[in-house]
Structure 1
Amino acid sequence: MSKKENGYSEDVSILSDGVNIEGKITSNGNVRIDGKIIGDVSVKGNLTLGNSAEIKGEVTAKNMTASGKVEGILKIEDKLTLESTCVIKGDIITKILVIEEGAKFDGKSSMTQSSSYSSTSSTNAAD
């Protein structure tokens, strides 16, 4: 298993269409999901959801590109891309949010900044 300088594996784990999982999924690398997951998904690398993917649970990842369906909270560290076939029911927390025409999103979104930016803002607000 090879690792990048950022600490997560370059390898990609694939959960194919037809795979149904109930439970928590964690990965130190990149993951592509085309199946159905009932439970939380935590990925230290990039997460890709194909058109047939369905997740019910909390999703955390470094970056995420979604074409499938998610019902739950999405906590994406850097960039979340909702492609035209994507359906999201739940709240989104991310730094960068890209929503393509046709994507459906029902929930709240919060655009977060790095922790150093937040502490600087808090310090300046107190002055």
Structure 2
Amino acid sequence: MSSEEQTPQAPGNGNGGPDRKPGVFGRIAGWFDRAVQEGRGGARNTAPLRQTPQEAHPRPSDPGARRGRNAAHARMVIPVGAVVSGSLETAGDAEIAGRVEGDITLKGELTLFKSASLTGAVSAGSGHVDGTVEGPVKCSGNLAVGATGRINADIYAGGSVDILGCVTGGVSVAGRLRLGTGCVVNGDVRAGVLVMEEGAALNGQCSMLGTPKEAAAGTADKQGV
């Protein structure tokens, strides 16, 4: 063989090395890579996924936020047969069916059931009384005294008052005062609007407070604000 003849070369891959078909593991790896790319949207013309915005929640390490939420939704309950001696205060509502000897202060609604007995002053956002109260009642909103309700002290309300039971004391209401059938009020009343139904008894003087602004001012003066 002459020196001009070339020695046959093995087929190459362009890089000087022989072409090699991928083995079993190589084919599996290639298939896996393609599947991953397709799953990511690399091999298909798909729209990108949108992330749903998450609500911002207070951090678990923020006890102040938790206390604020709990206080805003707090409900104090005193069941039938329970006796509480001392003042009570809550930022939420209160439901009382037992006996309380002390003042009650709350920002929400006070509900006194028929079996409830309270000896002390009441300050609430609103109230419904079916039991007995021995002490002044002040509500920034509305107050209702049911047919079995008894209040033996003065009443002050920034909203409206409906009385179906018995009140022994003065009543000062910035809004409407309704004396329902069968109620008894032993004391003077002052109201922006007075509605007295047939069968209601008022043993005292009645005066109107004029405009709503004057009524609110008059009620505040009576409360010593």
TM-score (norm: length of structure 1): 0.80
Q: CA deviation at 1:2?
A: 7.5
Secondary structure in 2 matching 1:90: coil
Structure 2 Cα separation of the partners of residues 91 and 121 of structure 1: 17
For the 8 Å contact 1:9–1:45, the answer to whether it is kept is no
More RCO (CA 8 Å, sep 6+) = 1
Q: CA deviation at 1:94?
A: 0.3
Match of residue 15, structure 1, among 71, 75, 78: 78
Match of residue 50, structure 1, among 113, 122, 140: 113
For the 8 Å contact 2:155–2:171, the answer to whether it is kept is yes
Structure 1 gaps, min length 5 = 123-127
For the 8 Å contact 2:74–2:91, the answer to whether it is kept is no
Match of residue 112, structure 1, among 174, 181, 187: 174
Structure 1 Cα separation of the partners of residues 137 and 217 of structure 2: 25
Structure 1 Cα separation of the partners of residues 72 and 99 of structure 2: 23
1:1-127 to 2 correspondences below 5 Å: 3=69, 9-95=72-158, 96-100=160-164, 103-112=165-174, 117-118=213-214
Secondary structure in 2 matching 1:117: helix
Secondary structure in 2 matching 1:112: strand
Write 1 or 2 for the structure with the bigger share of strand. Answer: 1
For the 8 Å contact 1:65–1:80, the answer to whether it is kept is yes
Indicate the RMSD between aligned Cα atoms, in angstroms.
2.3
Q: Which digits, 9 at most, give the CA deviation of each residue in 1:62-114, with x for residues without a partner?
A: 000010000110011110000111011000000311112xx11110011137x
2:161 is aligned with what amino acid?
A: L
TM-score (norm: length of structure 2): 0.46
